[in-house]
Chains A and B, each alone.
Chain A
Amino acid sequence: MELILTKNFNLPESYTLQVYEKTGGYAALKKALGMKPEQVTEEVKGSGLRGRGGAGFPAGMKWSFVPKNTGKPVYLCVNADEGEPGTFKDRAILEKDPHRMIEGSLIAAYAIGAKTAYVYIRGEFDLPTRRLNAAVQEAYSKGYAGRNILGSGYDCDVFVHRGAGAYICGEETALLNSLEGNRGYPRIKPPFPAIEGLFKCPTVVNNVETLAAVPYIIEHGAAGYKKIGTEKSPGTKLFSVSGPVMHPGVYEVEMGYPMRKFLHEDVGWMRPGKVLKAVIPGGSSMPVLTAQEVEEVNLDYESIASKGSLLGSGGMIVLDEDTCMVWALENLAHFYSHESCGQCSPCREGTGWSYKILKRMVHGESKKEDIELLLDIGQKMAGKTICVLADSLSMPIASYIGKFRGEFEAHVKGNCSQCQKSR
Chain B
Amino acid sequence: MPKVTIDGKEIEVPAGMNLIEAAKLAGASVPHYCYHPKLSIAGNCRICLVEIEKQPKLQIACNTKVAEGMVVRTTGPKVEEGRQSVLEFILVNHPIDCPVCDQAGECKLQQYYMQLDRKPSRMEEEKVQKDKAVKLGPNVMLDMERCILCSRCIRFCQEVAHQDELCFTQRGDHTELTTYPGRELKNPYSVNTVDICPVGALTSVDFRFKQRVWFLKTADTVCPGCSTGCNVRLWHNKGAAYRLTPRENEAVNQVWMCDEGRLTYKPVNAENRLRHPVVKRDGRNGKMRRDLAVAELKRSLEGVSGNAILGIGSAQFTNEANQAFLGFLKDILGVKDFVYHANEVANPSHDVFLISADKNPNRAGVEALGFKPLAEDRRYQVFFALGPLPFSKIQKIAFEKNRKVILLTTHEVPEIEYADFVFPTAAWAEDEGTYTNRQNRVQNIAPAFPPPGESLRVGQWMEEFDKAWRPALKGMTA
Contacts and interface: CB of A to CB of B under 8 A. Distances in A.
B175 to A, nearest CB: 4
A373 B122 contact: yes
B58 interface: yes
B133 interface: no
B433 interface: no
A352 B90 CA distance: 12
Nearest to B34: A345
Interface in B93-111: 93
Contact of B172 (A337, A356, A373): A337
B170 A188 contact: no
A342 B148 contact: no
Nearest to B126: A356
A183 B44 CA distance: 14
Contact of A344 (B46, B92, B125, B168): B46
A42 B58 CA distance: 35
Contact of A338 (B45, B86, B90, B172): B172
B400 interface: no
Given A188-B63, A346-B46, A384-B49, A340 B93 contact: no
A341 interface: yes
A338 B174 CA distance: 9
A351 B47 contact: no
B49 A386 contact: no
A381 B49 CA distance: 13
Contacts of B379: none
B172 A341 contact: yes
Contact of B44 (A166, A345, A351): A345
A168 B172 CA distance: 11
A53 to B, nearest CB: 21
Interface in A305-362: 337-346, 348-353, 356-357, 360
A295 to B, nearest CB: 32
B82 A342 contact: no
Interface in A366-398: 373, 380-381, 383-386
Interface in B374-407: none
B49 A166 contact: no
Contact of A348 (B47, B85, B149): B149
Contacts of B68: none
B128 interface: yes
A349 B89 contact: yes
A342 B45 CA distance: 10
Determine the interface band of chain B, counting residues with CB < 8 A from chain A: 35 or more
B128 A340 contact: no
Contacts of A350: 89, 92
Contacts of A357: 125
Interface in B319-350: none
Interface string A146-168: 00000000000000000000101
Given A188-B41, A380-B85, A349 B171 contact: no
B172 A345 contact: no
Interface size class of A (residues with CB under 8 A): 20 to 34
A353 B92 CA distance: 8
Contacts of B170: 342
Interface string B28-56: 00000000000001111111010000000
A385 B92 CA distance: 17
Nearest to B44: A343
B82 A352 contact: no
Of B43, B46, B82, B173, most A-chain CB atoms within 10 Å:
B173
A384 B90 CA distance: 13
B86 A166 contact: no
A24 to B, nearest CB: 44
Nearest to B167: A183
B63 A348 contact: no
B123 interface: yes
Contacts of A380: 85, 88-89
B148 A384 contact: no
Nearest to B88: A380
B171 A345 contact: no
B63 A342 contact: no
Among B57, B82, B125, B128, residue most surrounded by chain A Cβ atoms (within 10 Å):
B125
B45 A345 contact: yes
A345 B168 contact: no
Contacts of B148: 345
Q: Which of B44, B82, B122 has the most CB of A within 10 A?
A: B44
Contacts of A381: 85, 89
**Centre residue among A168, A384, A386 by max chain B CB count within 10 A:** A384
Contacts of A168: 171
A343 B89 CA distance: 12
B173 A340 contact: yes
A345 B63 contact: no
Interface of A: 166, 168, 183, 188, 337-346, 348-353, 356-357, 360, 373, 380-381, 383-386
Given A348-B175, A352-B172, A385-B46, 8 more contacts: A183-B167, A183-B168, A338-B171, A342-B149, A342-B171, A345-B45, A349-B89, A350-B89
9 contacts: A343-B149, A345-B47, A345-B149, A346-B89, A352-B92, A352-B173, A353-B92, A353-B125, A384-B49
